[in-house]
Amino acid sequence: MISRISGTVWGRGEGYVILRTGGLGLKVEVPSGVLKQIGPGEQALELFTYFQVRENRLGLYGFLTKEQRSLFELLLDISGVGPTVALSLLSTIAPDVLRQAVIQDRPGLLTKVPGIGSKTAKKIIFNLKDEVIPGDGETTPLLTEGDSEVIAALTELGFSLVEAQSALQGLPEDEDLSVEERIRLALSSLA
């Protein structure tokens, strides 16, 4: 199994990078977070990888952290979740948000991801319930009902889930703010 690759970025496209390593150019499918970290031109890159062998296809998938790779592997073990859906999920939702959705049993957070409907979201939460531990030893704050409403409102307005999450993290810790005020503040931070 190929578990780690380092090399020079030779090329990139939508959903993949081509790494030059040892005289070879390896096409590695990656979540969008990897592509955002690669600037124009060649640069060194190290990825934690998952190599999948199927009857009609070989697939090499790369991630910036071991945690992302582990979540990808857990997602692939779920019936009906293939590499495309798993990559889409990891491109759209941060690992902490996925963890919170599972712990709090909130499939609605996952249905914002392209390719994941209500049935698949419930299946993911059910299958990951015993696998996902909060924060791998660190304490991560769980989303409140108000936080979920802010994220839902922002995504309905056309912002990505990642943008909504980062706007939510930038809000003051004032508990006296109404949901509407929190949405307004989040919108102003996104403007």
Q: What is the pLDDT of residues 169-181, one digit of tens each?
A: 777 776 677 888 8
Q: For 30-83, write each residue's pLDDT tens digit.
A: 998 888 877 666 688 899 999 999 888 899 999 988 888 999 999 999 988 999
CA distances from 83 to 52, 69, 89, 94, 115 (A): 9, 12, 10, 17, 11
pLDDT band at 87; cut points 50, 70, 90 = very high
Give mean pLDDT, residues 133-162: 66
- Residue among 95, 165, 162 at smallest CA distance from 128: 95
Widest distance between CA atoms in the chain: 59
Q: Are 114 and 128 in contact (CB under 8 A)?
A: no
Whole-prediction pTM value?
Answer: 0.69
**Residue 109 — pLDDT band, cuts 50, 70, 90?**
confident
pLDDT of res. 41:
64
